[in-house]
Structure 1
């Protein structure tokens, strides 16, 4: 009769065979285990544990050197209990500020919150790389505005908030509570934001009736559109059913509801009390709260880099009169230095690289430094702005009085055998069947091409505009110099 042996009994039989003189290799082969496993059974059996030593044991390590200390975990739990809207990243930022070392990872903080039942474990959402992210290059270039509701007073009155954030800095420019989000209250919120922070270049909204007459029955334009047009603001609209286009202000709504809406639901008796509390929350959001998408810095640090003149906005009480903005005259920007944008869209200034964009590769730009901001101008248009970077031995420049930057004079062209070529629409000339780029600024212009040592010199009116290393076949130079004005143009027969 066959008898089924348990796992411990089988291990015991193997151990007993070895103790009776059998070979470890032969017994291990017969039982289908490694020799090391059989030696482990022998060691555990011989430690005085007997049959109990042959039972399965937990593989959990006795200790974990990198486990979060109990003090840090208690502080994480206390932070979450005091601020239910704080997530793992925000808690981690505050732990760094409080001087905890070493600081645990974000996933460790998340697992600690799950263990204590402070957050519910959720399935991992889509990766950030799956989304197409975009951001304007500087503050006041674009505002995103929207309306969010379902905020309640103590008597059950529902309020809505007219919200707006700066696309580049995430600075909240508007958070105005209204009883009814009709055209007049929404436009008054826009006027208040413009009076406090200035006039943006563009405003992005959805297709709500208070923002546009795009899908309305009326002839239009609505008051919001008229205010934008009168003040020179481009009003951009999202595609229908595309809330991700205004994703930044939608994400702000989630933060607003978690950080201020839920804790203060049905708490305030009047609209004025609720607005005062909201203003205090917005002040903390702009000046103290870290924002993950801008490197865990408060939004005001980005927004203040290009702070301009404060306008004075006046709104007429009639629905037909648009708002007018009067601003102080902008002083002419100081003279800058000239730079060529390399093939990667970068320029070099004081040993640091700044991005202008691949669109301007090979183009001539002007670089101006104003109050710690590096501005890159192309044909009078500001194309990029960056915070100025300095080395450790240059930090004293921040305390030096500003002086007028030196203007560089283009050097004279070196004399030599020269031919003239006409640049094409992309600013490229052809010499010895090889293209050489001069830049789009010189498109359709006559450019002098000179061979100087081992380089090709391009000049206009005796001033050097570009120098390239020789890439053409030197044997073809004779034919190129034989046509100093280029090949004669073919004339079409009449």
Structure 2
């Protein structure tokens, strides 16, 4: 009969045979192992007895290649302070600011972020080497131009931005804010860039009517065509519906929207929007490394062409207006790296000052204006300012952040006029404990979408362009107006990890007033007596078929009214937001039952 013995018993038998007089070679051959293994069993039995023959972990006691805890903590801190930085950018910044240990590889940085839940692991579609990237061989050989919207003004208008990017260096040569994207405004932006940087060899645009008359009924030549022709610029057009052809300028639009326009409050004027976008453009050109350029800066690869000695030829109708505007003059800031950058930051002292908001809501400090709105008139606000950024805090809560135009001389003057040395920057407050309500300021974009945790959430076209306070309290998301009145309440679409990644979040203030007006939408009852709201089907009754009813949204229920009559109240089982607010078709007129058609009179016959 076969008897199965354990591995420990077999090792014990091998040890007993050796101790009984058998040679190690014979025992190793009989048990199918090498001689070194038998010697190891003997040593373990001699030291620990029978327990020493049990299976042991082969994990090494130490790992010389393990990333130092200081480096891992610095990687996580950089990611939390800059949620849009990936592994490549974090690796670049480690070498830029000085790493406390050996610099890890890119994949090590990525694994650190995944291990700490700072990056969601996603399957790779294609290898990076399989993408074919094309670019011109030298700067000023090709400019890509386009127009982008999304610049919301305080009076409800939407301005446009005329943009241009050098194909070789990714250097932004044009970022002009215009109230309307007319052909004349686009040409003025192009002329200002030509005067500042010189004339490129080629210009590439899409088929917008500001650039070409290609699809106009009359055809002909527009002013943009004429400027290119008279200055020997080869003008190229993309194929219709081919945005990837101008992919470099479209990528600039994505960064502009994500990092500035989606999170910025409405601008007071076009001039303020232009100053803010100029600051973003300067940072984009000089202080932001690009992965497509092997982490080089666009300003390092760009070379203007202003010394060619050829005068710029302009149409007579455009010359006077171009002379009035003149070329843009961004501030000349010298970029430093390494220890020099740390020394510059150390001498860039921040200042805190307290001011009272005037009745107009437009406050001026040392020549720089800050729009806060008449609703905050008479309240005291604290400014945390340095030479790069200004934070506006009301009762310790940060209202907005704008680029700083203060010089070191102006900061010292603010200290003399009653200011005080500032503490740490309020841009990265401590995260709220899990389960507590949080708030964040956001602007609803022109499509009625709200940007939270890297995703867009539909909240309704009727809120487009408004600056709201988003309050997340457990399973409910409230949108609050300037007076903290509830504009709309929705189911919370974010998970707990996503709530921890919300940028600029703070502990929530007092709960909104309970007498808020619920959202009301119209629906028409189908022939089967049902309606659909947020993809939830509700049965009202076949007796109400064809009627237009009003649906009142609550946190957990839907109430269906017809006039003053409450038809039904059902539990809300959907988490989708309401995207349609009106009935699809108008309700047909209903005939009163007491009004009957007049009977037809019999025809009278004429006498024969």
Instruction: Sort the TM-score into its range (normalised by shorter chain).
Output: 0.5 to 0.7
Structure 1 residue 27 displacement after superposition: 4.6
Match of 2:605 in 1: none
The 8 Å contact of residues 45 and 54 in structure 1, kept in 2 or not, is answered as: no
The CA distance in 2 between the partners of 1:176 and 1:303, in whole Å, is: 19
| Counterpart-to-counterpart distance in 1, 2:267 and 2:48 | 72
Deviates more, 1:299-308 or 1:148-157: 148-157
Instruction: Determine the structure 1 residue equivalent to 2:574.
Output: none
* Separation of aligned partners in 2, 1:23 and 1:251: 75
Moved more, 87-96 or 120-129: 120-129
Q: Do the aligned residues in 2 keep the contact of 1:156 with 1:266 (CA within 8 Å)?
A: no
Q: 1:259 to 1:41 in 2, by over 3 A?
A: farther
The separation in 1 between residues aligned to 2:32 and 2:38, in whole angstroms, is 10
| Distance (Å, rounded) in 2 between the aligned partners of 1:188 and 1:270 | 19
Distance 1:289 1:134 in 2: 21
Cα 1:67–1:243 change in 2 (3 A) is farther
- 1:378-415 Cα shifts (integer Å, max 9, x gaps): xxxxxxxxxxxxxxxxxxxxxxxxxxxxxxxxxxxxxx
Report matched runs for 1:118-137 at 5 Å. Answer: 118-137=118-137
Any idea what SS the aligned residue of 2:163 has? strand
Rounded to whole Å, the distance in 1 between the matches of 2:216 and 2:52 is 81
What corresponds to 2:115 in structure 1? 115
2:295 equivalent in structure 1: 296
Q: 1:28 to 1:295 in 2, by over 3 A?
A: same
Aligned ranges 1:23-34 → 2 under 5 Å: 23-34=23-34
Q: Deviations over 1:218-252 (max 9, x none)?
A: 52444433432343321112344544433332333
Deviations 1:10-67 (A, max 9, x none): 55555555555555455545554444444444444443163365224143x3222233
* CA RMSD between the two structures: 3.9
Structure 1 spans left out of the alignment, 5+ residues: 326-494
Q: Which consecutive residues of structure 2, in runs of 5 or more, have no partner in the other structure?
A: 324-608
Q: 1:107 to 1:324 in 2, by over 3 A?
A: same
Once the 2 structures are TM-superposed, how far is the Cα of residue 104 of structure 1 from its aligned partner?
Answer: 2.4
Report the Cα distance in structure 2 between the residues aligned to 1:113 and 1:134, rounded to whole angstroms: 31
The CA distance in 2 between the partners of 1:171 and 1:19, in whole Å, is 80
Give 1:208 shift: 4.0
In structure 2, distance between residues paired with 1:30 and 1:267: 84
Q: Find the aligned partners of 2:38 and 2:249 in 1 and give their Cα distance.
A: 64
Instruction: Give 1:188-337 correspondences, 5 Å limit.
Output: 188-215=188-215, 217=217, 219-240=219-240, 242-262=242-262, 264-266=263-265, 268=267, 271-304=270-303, 306-308=305-307
Structure 1 residues 300-341: Cα deviation after superposition (integer angstroms, max 9, x where no partner)? 2222365547977878779xx99999xxxxxxxxxxxxxxxx
1:322-372 superposed Cα distances (whole Å, 9 cap, x missing partner): 9999xxxxxxxxxxxxxxxxxxxxxxxxxxxxxxxxxxxxxxxxxxxxxxx
The alignment partner of 2:175 has SS state of strand
CA 18–222 in structure 1, closer or farther in 2 if over 3 Å, else same = farther
- Distance in 2 (CA, whole Å) between partners of 1:234 and 1:217 is 24
Relative to structure 1, the CA distance from residue 50 to residue 183 in structure 2 (aligned partners, 3 Å threshold; closer, same or farther) is farther
**2: CA distance, partners of 1:281 / 1:153:** 18
Tell me whether 1:63 sits opposite 2:62 in the alignment. Answer: yes
Equivalences for residues 310-459 of structure 1 within 5 A = none
Matched position secondary structure for 2:165: strand
User: What TM-score, normalized by structure 1, do the two folds share?
Assistant: 0.54
Alpha-carbon distance between aligned partners in 2 of 1:173 and 1:49, rounded to the nearest angstrom: 78
Instruction: Single out whichever of 2-11 and 276-285 deviates more from structure 2.
Output: 2-11
Is the 1:151–1:265 Cα contact (8 Å) retained in structure 2? Answer: no
SS of the residue aligned with 2:302?
helix
Deviation at 1:170, TM superposition (A): 1.6
Instruction: Give the TM-score normalised by structure 2.
Output: 0.45
* Change beyond 3 A, Cα 1:229–1:305: closer
Question: What's the CA shift for 1:201?
Answer: 1.7
Number of equivalences: 321
Q: CA deviation at 1:265?
A: 4.4
Q: State whether residues 194 and 313 of structure 1, in contact with CA within 8 Å, keep that contact through their aligned partners in structure 2.
A: no
Mean CA deviation greater in 224-233 or 166-175 = 224-233
Report Cα offsets for 1:81-115 as digits up to 9, x if no partner: 22222222222222223233532222222222222
Secondary structure of 1:297's aligned partner:
coil
Separation in 2 of the partners of 1:64 and 1:301? 40
Distance of aligned partners of 1:20 and 1:303 in 2 relative to their CA distance in 1, 3 Å threshold:
same
